Chain A
Amino acid sequence: MQKNEQEYLAILRTRLSGTLPQENLDDILSDYAEHFRIGKSKGRSEEDLYTSLGSPEEVAREIKATYMVTKAEETRSCGNILHAVLSTIGLGLFNLVFVLVPFIVLVILLGLIFLAGVMFSVMGPVMFVFALLPILGISSFDFWFSPAAGLFFSIGITSFGILMIIGDYYLARTFYYLGIRYLKWNINVIKGTESIV
Protein backbone atom coordinates (compact mmCIF):
# COMPACT_ATOMS: atom_id res chain seq x y z
CA MET A 1 0.00 0.00 0.00
CA GLN A 2 1.36 3.37 -1.04
CA LYS A 3 1.11 6.22 1.44
CA ASN A 4 -0.09 9.00 -0.80
CA GLU A 5 -2.91 11.52 -0.95
CA GLN A 6 -5.08 9.42 -3.21
CA GLU A 7 -4.86 6.43 -0.90
CA TYR A 8 -5.56 8.56 2.19
CA LEU A 9 -8.65 10.16 0.69
CA ALA A 10 -9.86 6.82 -0.66
CA ILE A 11 -9.72 5.25 2.81
CA LEU A 12 -11.55 8.22 4.33
CA ARG A 13 -14.22 8.02 1.65
CA THR A 14 -14.70 4.30 2.09
CA ARG A 15 -14.91 4.52 5.87
CA LEU A 16 -17.26 7.49 6.02
CA SER A 17 -19.55 6.96 3.07
CA GLY A 18 -22.93 5.69 4.18
CA THR A 19 -22.51 7.34 7.56
CA LEU A 20 -22.08 10.99 6.73
CA PRO A 21 -24.29 12.85 4.26
CA GLN A 22 -22.62 13.29 0.89
CA GLU A 23 -22.30 17.03 1.37
CA ASN A 24 -20.45 16.67 4.68
CA LEU A 25 -18.28 13.91 3.27
CA ASP A 26 -17.28 16.06 0.31
CA ASP A 27 -16.40 18.94 2.66
CA ILE A 28 -14.20 16.70 4.81
CA LEU A 29 -12.43 15.17 1.82
CA SER A 30 -11.94 18.64 0.42
CA ASP A 31 -10.38 19.78 3.71
CA TYR A 32 -7.93 16.89 3.77
CA ALA A 33 -7.09 17.43 0.08
CA GLU A 34 -6.37 21.03 0.99
CA HIS A 35 -4.01 19.84 3.78
CA PHE A 36 -2.13 17.79 1.22
CA ARG A 37 -2.04 20.66 -1.30
CA ILE A 38 -0.68 23.18 1.21
CA GLY A 39 1.84 20.67 2.57
CA LYS A 40 3.09 19.81 -0.90
CA SER A 41 3.42 23.50 -1.77
CA LYS A 42 5.80 23.77 1.19
CA GLY A 43 7.90 20.96 -0.21
CA ARG A 44 6.72 18.10 2.01
CA SER A 45 6.24 14.67 0.49
CA GLU A 46 2.83 12.96 0.34
CA GLU A 47 4.13 10.14 2.52
CA ASP A 48 5.29 12.60 5.16
CA LEU A 49 1.92 14.35 5.10
CA TYR A 50 0.11 11.00 5.19
CA THR A 51 1.99 10.07 8.37
CA SER A 52 1.65 13.46 10.03
CA LEU A 53 -2.13 13.60 9.54
CA GLY A 54 -2.51 10.33 11.38
CA SER A 55 -3.89 7.02 10.32
CA PRO A 56 -6.88 7.58 7.97
CA GLU A 57 -8.75 4.74 9.74
CA GLU A 58 -8.41 6.47 13.12
CA VAL A 59 -9.28 9.85 11.62
CA ALA A 60 -12.38 8.32 10.04
CA ARG A 61 -13.43 6.84 13.40
CA GLU A 62 -13.01 10.21 15.13
CA ILE A 63 -14.95 12.03 12.43
CA LYS A 64 -17.68 9.45 12.57
CA ALA A 65 -17.91 9.65 16.39
CA THR A 66 -17.98 13.45 16.32
CA TYR A 67 -20.66 13.45 13.65
CA MET A 68 -22.81 10.92 15.52
CA VAL A 69 -22.56 12.83 18.80
CA THR A 70 -23.44 16.08 17.05
CA LYS A 71 -26.38 14.39 15.35
CA ALA A 72 -27.58 13.00 18.68
CA GLU A 73 -27.29 16.45 20.19
CA GLU A 74 -29.31 18.04 17.42
CA THR A 75 -31.97 15.34 17.17
CA ARG A 76 -32.84 13.57 20.40
CA SER A 77 -33.67 9.93 19.89
CA CYS A 78 -32.77 6.56 21.35
CA GLY A 79 -31.27 5.47 18.02
CA ASN A 80 -29.07 8.54 17.73
CA ILE A 81 -27.65 8.28 21.24
CA LEU A 82 -27.04 4.57 20.74
CA HIS A 83 -25.14 5.22 17.51
CA ALA A 84 -23.17 8.00 19.22
CA VAL A 85 -22.21 5.67 22.07
CA LEU A 86 -21.23 2.84 19.72
CA SER A 87 -19.16 5.21 17.55
CA THR A 88 -17.37 6.54 20.62
CA ILE A 89 -16.66 3.02 21.85
CA GLY A 90 -14.99 2.41 18.47
CA LEU A 91 -12.36 5.02 19.35
CA GLY A 92 -10.69 2.78 21.89
CA LEU A 93 -11.18 -0.42 23.82
CA PHE A 94 -10.99 1.44 27.13
CA ASN A 95 -14.27 3.11 26.18
CA LEU A 96 -15.96 -0.23 26.80
CA VAL A 97 -15.42 0.62 30.46
CA PHE A 98 -15.70 4.40 30.35
CA VAL A 99 -18.64 4.69 27.94
CA LEU A 100 -20.44 1.39 27.45
CA VAL A 101 -20.68 0.35 31.09
CA PRO A 102 -22.09 3.68 32.35
CA PHE A 103 -24.46 3.74 29.35
CA ILE A 104 -25.80 0.26 30.13
CA VAL A 105 -26.14 1.07 33.84
CA LEU A 106 -28.11 4.23 33.06
CA VAL A 107 -30.34 2.46 30.55
CA ILE A 108 -31.11 -0.28 33.09
CA LEU A 109 -31.76 2.31 35.81
CA LEU A 110 -34.14 4.29 33.61
CA GLY A 111 -35.83 1.08 32.49
CA LEU A 112 -36.35 -0.08 36.07
CA ILE A 113 -37.79 3.26 37.14
CA PHE A 114 -40.14 3.22 34.16
CA LEU A 115 -41.25 -0.35 34.87
CA ALA A 116 -41.81 0.48 38.53
CA GLY A 117 -43.86 3.51 37.50
CA VAL A 118 -45.99 1.46 35.12
CA MET A 119 -46.41 -1.24 37.76
CA PHE A 120 -47.62 1.25 40.39
CA SER A 121 -49.88 2.98 37.86
CA VAL A 122 -51.53 -0.31 36.97
CA MET A 123 -51.57 -1.77 40.49
CA GLY A 124 -53.21 1.33 41.96
CA PRO A 125 -56.57 0.95 40.20
CA VAL A 126 -56.57 -2.82 40.89
CA MET A 127 -55.95 -2.16 44.58
CA PHE A 128 -58.69 0.47 44.48
CA VAL A 129 -61.16 -2.16 43.32
CA PHE A 130 -60.06 -4.54 46.09
CA ALA A 131 -60.62 -1.73 48.58
CA LEU A 132 -64.01 -0.88 47.13
CA LEU A 133 -65.45 -4.42 47.14
CA PRO A 134 -65.61 -4.92 50.93
CA ILE A 135 -67.02 -1.40 51.34
CA LEU A 136 -69.81 -2.36 48.96
CA GLY A 137 -70.33 -5.54 50.95
CA ILE A 138 -69.03 -7.82 48.22
CA SER A 139 -67.00 -10.77 49.46
CA SER A 140 -63.50 -10.78 48.04
CA PHE A 141 -59.90 -11.51 48.78
CA ASP A 142 -58.96 -9.35 51.77
CA PHE A 143 -56.15 -7.31 50.30
CA TRP A 144 -56.28 -4.31 52.57
CA PHE A 145 -56.12 -4.20 56.32
CA SER A 146 -58.55 -1.32 56.13
CA PRO A 147 -60.56 -0.82 52.93
CA ALA A 148 -61.14 2.87 53.66
CA ALA A 149 -57.39 3.38 54.02
CA GLY A 150 -56.88 1.18 50.97
CA LEU A 151 -58.92 3.56 48.82
CA PHE A 152 -56.58 6.42 49.62
CA PHE A 153 -53.44 4.29 49.44
CA SER A 154 -54.41 3.05 45.98
CA ILE A 155 -55.00 6.62 44.78
CA GLY A 156 -51.61 7.58 46.22
CA ILE A 157 -49.91 4.58 44.62
CA THR A 158 -51.43 5.40 41.22
CA SER A 159 -50.38 9.04 41.29
CA PHE A 160 -46.94 8.04 42.60
CA GLY A 161 -46.58 5.64 39.66
CA ILE A 162 -47.50 8.39 37.18
CA LEU A 163 -45.01 10.68 38.91
CA MET A 164 -42.32 8.03 38.53
CA ILE A 165 -42.98 7.78 34.79
CA ILE A 166 -42.85 11.57 34.41
CA GLY A 167 -39.74 11.74 36.60
CA ASP A 168 -38.15 9.01 34.51
CA TYR A 169 -38.77 11.09 31.38
CA TYR A 170 -37.04 14.13 32.86
CA LEU A 171 -34.26 11.98 34.25
CA ALA A 172 -33.73 10.48 30.80
CA ARG A 173 -33.54 13.96 29.29
CA THR A 174 -30.97 15.00 31.90
CA PHE A 175 -28.91 11.86 31.35
CA TYR A 176 -29.15 12.44 27.60
CA TYR A 177 -27.81 15.97 27.95
CA LEU A 178 -25.04 14.94 30.33
CA GLY A 179 -24.23 11.91 28.18
CA ILE A 180 -23.73 14.05 25.07
CA ARG A 181 -21.40 16.34 27.01
CA TYR A 182 -19.49 13.38 28.36
CA LEU A 183 -19.14 11.82 24.89
CA LYS A 184 -17.86 15.12 23.46
CA TRP A 185 -15.36 15.41 26.28
CA ASN A 186 -14.34 11.80 25.75
CA ILE A 187 -13.74 12.36 22.01
CA ASN A 188 -11.78 15.53 22.68
CA VAL A 189 -9.57 13.73 25.21
CA ILE A 190 -8.87 11.00 22.65
CA LYS A 191 -8.13 13.59 19.96
CA GLY A 192 -5.78 15.28 22.40
CA THR A 193 -7.55 18.61 22.27
CA GLU A 194 -8.54 18.36 25.92
CA SER A 195 -6.75 16.98 28.96
CA ILE A 196 -8.28 14.65 31.54
CA VAL A 197 -7.50 16.98 34.43
Chain B
Amino acid sequence: MTGKTPGNDNKDPAKGLRIISTINPTRLILWLVAITIVSFVIGFSILFLASGVPGNTGEPIAAFKLSAISNSTAFPLDGASAGNVLLTFGPGNLEISGGSAGDNLMEATVYAGSAPWEPEVSENTTGPVKTLSVTDKGHHSKEFFAVDAKRQWKIHLNEQVPIGLDVTIGVGDSRLDLGDLNLTALNVNAGVGGSEIDLGGYHGGRFDAMINSGVGDLELRVPSMSNTRITTSNGLGDVDVKGLRFDNGAYVTPGYDSAKPVNEIQIQHKVGSVTLEAV
Protein backbone atom coordinates (compact mmCIF):
# COMPACT_ATOMS: atom_id res chain seq x y z
CA MET B 1 0.00 0.00 0.00
CA THR B 2 1.48 3.32 -1.07
CA GLY B 3 -1.16 5.69 0.19
CA LYS B 4 0.03 8.60 2.39
CA THR B 5 -0.81 8.57 6.03
CA PRO B 6 -1.15 11.88 7.91
CA GLY B 7 1.97 11.04 9.88
CA ASN B 8 4.06 10.93 6.70
CA ASP B 9 3.48 14.65 5.98
CA ASN B 10 6.18 15.68 8.41
CA LYS B 11 8.74 13.58 6.57
CA ASP B 12 7.88 15.02 3.17
CA PRO B 13 10.86 17.22 2.21
CA ALA B 14 8.90 18.95 -0.54
CA LYS B 15 6.19 20.06 1.85
CA GLY B 16 8.00 23.27 2.78
CA LEU B 17 8.57 24.17 -0.84
CA ARG B 18 4.93 23.56 -1.64
CA ILE B 19 3.87 25.82 1.22
CA ILE B 20 6.22 28.56 0.00
CA SER B 21 4.93 28.22 -3.56
CA THR B 22 1.36 28.75 -2.34
CA ILE B 23 2.24 32.11 -0.74
CA ASN B 24 0.79 34.98 -2.68
CA PRO B 25 3.69 37.42 -3.33
CA THR B 26 1.43 40.46 -3.31
CA ARG B 27 -0.07 39.44 0.00
CA LEU B 28 3.40 38.78 1.42
CA ILE B 29 4.62 42.23 0.34
CA LEU B 30 1.55 43.92 1.78
CA TRP B 31 2.07 42.12 5.07
CA LEU B 32 5.72 43.14 5.19
CA VAL B 33 4.85 46.76 4.40
CA ALA B 34 2.23 46.73 7.14
CA ILE B 35 4.61 45.14 9.66
CA THR B 36 7.33 47.66 8.82
CA ILE B 37 5.07 50.69 9.14
CA VAL B 38 3.34 49.49 12.32
CA SER B 39 6.65 48.53 13.95
CA PHE B 40 8.23 51.90 13.32
CA VAL B 41 5.12 53.79 14.40
CA ILE B 42 4.98 51.84 17.69
CA GLY B 43 8.75 52.21 18.16
CA PHE B 44 8.69 55.96 17.70
CA SER B 45 5.63 56.23 19.93
CA ILE B 46 7.44 54.41 22.72
CA LEU B 47 10.48 56.64 22.25
CA PHE B 48 8.26 59.69 22.43
CA LEU B 49 6.60 58.45 25.60
CA ALA B 50 9.90 57.27 27.13
CA SER B 51 11.42 60.72 26.73
CA GLY B 52 8.88 61.92 29.28
CA VAL B 53 9.66 59.24 31.86
CA PRO B 54 10.74 60.89 35.13
CA GLY B 55 14.39 60.46 35.99
CA ASN B 56 15.45 60.34 32.39
CA THR B 57 16.71 63.89 32.13
CA GLY B 58 20.25 63.32 33.38
CA GLU B 59 19.63 65.19 36.62
CA PRO B 60 21.53 64.00 39.70
CA ILE B 61 19.49 61.16 41.12
CA ALA B 62 17.95 61.84 44.50
CA ALA B 63 18.18 58.23 45.57
CA PHE B 64 21.94 58.33 45.60
CA LYS B 65 22.06 61.56 47.56
CA LEU B 66 19.68 60.23 50.16
CA SER B 67 21.32 56.86 50.50
CA ALA B 68 24.73 58.37 51.02
CA ILE B 69 25.93 59.24 54.49
CA SER B 70 24.49 62.31 56.18
CA ASN B 71 21.92 62.79 53.45
CA SER B 72 24.58 64.17 51.28
CA THR B 73 26.92 63.20 48.49
CA ALA B 74 29.77 64.20 50.78
CA PHE B 75 31.84 61.47 52.40
CA PRO B 76 33.51 62.85 55.56
CA LEU B 77 36.94 61.85 56.76
CA ASP B 78 35.52 60.78 60.12
CA GLY B 79 38.76 61.65 61.82
CA ALA B 80 40.99 59.82 59.36
CA SER B 81 44.21 61.47 58.28
CA ALA B 82 44.59 59.54 55.04
CA GLY B 83 42.32 57.91 52.53
CA ASN B 84 42.04 55.24 49.92
CA VAL B 85 39.49 55.91 47.23
CA LEU B 86 38.42 53.16 44.86
CA LEU B 87 36.16 54.17 42.01
CA THR B 88 34.74 51.60 39.59
CA PHE B 89 32.82 53.21 36.80
CA GLY B 90 31.03 51.54 33.89
CA PRO B 91 30.03 53.38 30.73
CA GLY B 92 29.81 57.17 30.75
CA ASN B 93 31.95 60.15 31.58
CA LEU B 94 34.06 60.46 34.70
CA GLU B 95 35.60 63.62 36.08
CA ILE B 96 37.86 63.66 39.11
CA SER B 97 39.44 66.73 40.63
CA GLY B 98 40.26 68.34 43.96
CA GLY B 99 38.05 70.85 45.69
CA SER B 100 36.34 68.81 48.37
CA ALA B 101 35.73 70.57 51.68
CA GLY B 102 38.50 70.11 54.27
CA ASP B 103 36.58 67.64 56.44
CA ASN B 104 35.37 65.53 53.55
CA LEU B 105 37.34 62.80 51.85
CA MET B 106 35.16 62.97 48.78
CA GLU B 107 32.16 64.73 47.35
CA ALA B 108 30.35 63.09 44.50
CA THR B 109 27.65 64.01 42.12
CA VAL B 110 26.22 61.18 40.12
CA TYR B 111 24.14 61.74 37.05
CA ALA B 112 22.24 58.70 35.91
CA GLY B 113 19.10 57.67 34.12
CA SER B 114 17.19 56.21 37.02
CA ALA B 115 17.52 55.27 40.67
CA PRO B 116 18.29 51.56 40.12
CA TRP B 117 21.54 52.58 38.49
CA GLU B 118 22.95 54.38 41.49
CA PRO B 119 26.38 53.13 42.53
CA GLU B 120 27.14 51.02 45.56
CA VAL B 121 29.09 52.73 48.31
CA SER B 122 31.23 51.08 50.90
CA GLU B 123 33.17 52.84 53.65
CA ASN B 124 35.65 51.49 56.12
CA THR B 125 37.94 53.26 58.53
CA THR B 126 40.93 51.41 59.90
CA GLY B 127 43.12 53.46 62.17
CA PRO B 128 44.03 56.72 60.48
CA VAL B 129 43.03 55.51 56.99
CA LYS B 130 39.56 55.66 55.60
CA THR B 131 38.80 53.48 52.60
CA LEU B 132 35.95 54.52 50.37
CA SER B 133 34.72 52.42 47.49
CA VAL B 134 32.15 53.53 44.95
CA THR B 135 31.12 50.95 42.37
CA ASP B 136 28.90 51.23 39.36
CA LYS B 137 26.68 48.16 39.50
CA GLY B 138 25.76 48.27 35.84
CA HIS B 139 22.39 47.21 34.49
CA HIS B 140 21.10 44.18 36.27
CA SER B 141 17.52 45.24 36.71
CA LYS B 142 14.87 44.87 34.04
CA GLU B 143 14.73 48.03 31.97
CA PHE B 144 12.11 48.76 29.38
CA PHE B 145 12.72 52.44 28.82
CA ALA B 146 15.65 54.78 28.41
CA VAL B 147 18.58 52.52 29.17
CA ASP B 148 20.98 54.74 27.34
CA ALA B 149 20.41 57.85 29.43
CA LYS B 150 23.29 60.14 30.27
CA ARG B 151 25.64 58.84 32.95
CA GLN B 152 28.30 60.97 34.51
CA TRP B 153 30.22 61.07 37.73
CA LYS B 154 31.80 64.23 39.05
CA ILE B 155 34.14 63.49 41.93
CA HIS B 156 35.86 66.04 44.16
CA LEU B 157 38.61 64.78 46.46
CA ASN B 158 40.27 66.26 49.52
CA GLU B 159 43.39 68.21 48.61
CA GLN B 160 45.16 68.02 51.98
CA VAL B 161 45.10 64.44 53.17
CA PRO B 162 47.23 61.81 51.44
CA ILE B 163 45.06 59.73 49.14
CA GLY B 164 45.65 56.48 47.35
CA LEU B 165 43.45 56.64 44.29
CA ASP B 166 42.33 53.60 42.31
CA VAL B 167 40.13 54.27 39.30
CA THR B 168 38.60 51.71 36.94
CA ILE B 169 36.76 53.01 33.92
CA GLY B 170 34.74 50.87 31.52
CA VAL B 171 33.66 52.61 28.36
CA GLY B 172 33.75 56.37 28.08
CA ASP B 173 35.90 59.40 28.48
CA SER B 174 37.59 60.33 31.71
CA ARG B 175 39.32 63.46 32.94
CA LEU B 176 41.42 63.31 36.06
CA ASP B 177 42.63 66.70 37.31
CA LEU B 178 44.91 65.57 40.10
CA GLY B 179 47.31 68.50 40.29
CA ASP B 180 45.84 69.80 43.55
CA LEU B 181 45.78 66.46 45.34
CA ASN B 182 48.22 64.84 47.69
CA LEU B 183 48.67 61.35 46.29
CA THR B 184 50.30 58.31 47.80
CA ALA B 185 49.47 56.02 44.89
CA LEU B 186 47.58 56.20 41.66
CA ASN B 187 46.13 53.28 39.72
CA VAL B 188 44.10 53.89 36.62
CA ASN B 189 42.54 51.10 34.55
CA ALA B 190 40.75 52.43 31.51
CA GLY B 191 38.88 50.21 29.06
CA VAL B 192 37.66 51.98 25.96
CA GLY B 193 37.69 55.75 25.58
CA GLY B 194 39.92 58.75 25.95
CA SER B 195 41.68 59.41 29.23
CA GLU B 196 43.21 62.67 30.33
CA ILE B 197 45.30 62.68 33.48
CA ASP B 198 46.56 66.09 34.50
CA LEU B 199 49.10 66.30 37.31
CA GLY B 200 50.11 69.84 36.34
CA GLY B 201 51.00 71.93 39.40
CA TYR B 202 51.24 68.86 41.63
CA HIS B 203 52.96 69.72 44.88
CA GLY B 204 51.93 66.78 47.06
CA GLY B 205 54.06 63.90 48.28
CA ARG B 206 55.89 61.28 46.29
CA PHE B 207 53.75 58.64 44.66
CA ASP B 208 53.93 55.74 42.25
CA ALA B 209 51.42 55.42 39.49
CA MET B 210 50.28 52.57 37.29
CA ILE B 211 48.17 53.45 34.27
CA ASN B 212 46.62 50.67 32.18
CA SER B 213 44.77 51.88 29.15
CA GLY B 214 42.94 49.72 26.62
CA VAL B 215 41.60 51.39 23.52
CA GLY B 216 41.63 55.16 23.14
CA ASP B 217 43.92 58.12 23.42
CA LEU B 218 45.77 58.82 26.63
CA GLU B 219 47.10 62.20 27.71
CA LEU B 220 49.31 62.58 30.75
CA ARG B 221 50.63 65.87 32.02
CA VAL B 222 53.22 66.07 34.78
CA PRO B 223 54.77 69.15 36.37
CA SER B 224 58.09 69.96 34.73
CA MET B 225 59.59 70.93 38.10
CA SER B 226 58.83 67.51 39.59
CA ASN B 227 61.19 64.58 39.77
CA THR B 228 59.20 62.19 37.60
CA ARG B 229 60.14 59.14 35.60
CA ILE B 230 57.70 57.62 33.10
CA THR B 231 58.05 54.21 31.48
CA THR B 232 55.72 53.27 28.67
CA SER B 233 54.68 50.04 27.08
CA ASN B 234 52.68 51.02 24.04
CA GLY B 235 50.88 48.64 21.70
CA LEU B 236 49.40 50.21 18.59
CA GLY B 237 49.72 53.98 18.32
CA ASP B 238 52.14 56.84 18.53
CA VAL B 239 53.82 58.25 21.60
CA ASP B 240 54.06 62.03 21.49
CA VAL B 241 56.39 63.55 24.05
CA LYS B 242 56.67 67.23 24.94
CA GLY B 243 59.03 68.77 27.49
CA LEU B 244 60.45 65.43 28.67
CA ARG B 245 63.74 63.81 27.80
CA PHE B 246 64.50 60.17 27.19
CA ASP B 247 66.91 58.75 29.73
CA ASN B 248 67.87 55.14 30.26
CA GLY B 249 64.67 53.63 28.84
CA ALA B 250 62.23 56.12 30.33
CA TYR B 251 60.96 59.66 29.89
CA VAL B 252 62.03 61.99 32.69
CA THR B 253 61.32 65.55 33.64
CA PRO B 254 64.01 68.15 32.80
CA GLY B 255 65.41 68.36 36.34
CA TYR B 256 65.26 64.62 36.97
CA ASP B 257 67.65 63.38 39.65
CA SER B 258 67.57 59.67 40.49
CA ALA B 259 69.19 60.38 43.86
CA LYS B 260 66.10 62.28 45.02
CA PRO B 261 62.62 60.84 45.65
CA VAL B 262 61.12 59.95 42.27
CA ASN B 263 57.53 59.75 41.18
CA GLU B 264 57.49 56.54 39.16
CA ILE B 265 54.75 56.32 36.55
CA GLN B 266 54.25 53.17 34.49
CA ILE B 267 52.01 53.25 31.46
CA GLN B 268 50.70 50.20 29.65
CA HIS B 269 48.71 51.25 26.65
CA LYS B 270 47.24 48.92 24.03
CA VAL B 271 45.61 50.85 21.19
CA GLY B 272 45.67 54.60 20.58
CA SER B 273 48.05 57.47 20.87
CA VAL B 274 49.83 58.48 24.05
CA THR B 275 50.74 62.08 24.77
CA LEU B 276 53.21 62.80 27.55
CA GLU B 277 53.80 66.39 28.46
CA ALA B 278 55.72 68.26 31.12
CA VAL B 279 53.97 71.49 31.98
| A residues with CB within 8 A of B | 134-137, 139-140, 142, 144-153, 155-156, 159-160, 162-163, 166
Contact = CB atoms under 8 A, between A and B. Distances in A.
Contacts of A149: 42-44, 46-47, 50
Minimum-distance CB pairs A-B, first 4: A156-B39, A152-B43, A149-B46, A137-B142
B143 A166 contact: no
**Chain A interface mostly:** helix
Interface in B108-167: 138-148
Nearest to B139: A139
Contacts of A159: 32, 35-36, 39
Contact of A139 (B35, B36, B38, B138): B138
Given A137-B140, A139-B140, A162-B32, A148 B39 contact: no
Interface string B34-63: 011111101110110010000000000000
B33 interface: yes
B127 to A, nearest CB: 37
B113 to A, nearest CB: 10
Contact of B36 (A137, A142, A146, A163): A163
A111 B37 CA distance: 25
Interface of B: 25, 28-29, 32-33, 35-40, 42-44, 46-47, 50, 91, 138-148
15 contacts: A135-B142, A136-B142, A142-B139, A146-B46, A146-B50, A147-B143, A147-B147, A149-B44, A149-B47, A152-B42, A153-B40, A156-B36, A156-B39, A162-B32, A166-B32
Contacts of A147: 143-145, 147
A146 B144 contact: yes
**Chain B interface mostly:** helix
Contacts of A142: 91, 139, 147-148
Nearest to A133: B139
Contact of B35 (A135, A137, A145, A155): A155
A149 B144 CA distance: 8
A187 B148 CA distance: 60
A2 to B, nearest CB: 60
Nearest to B140: A139
B139 A134 contact: yes
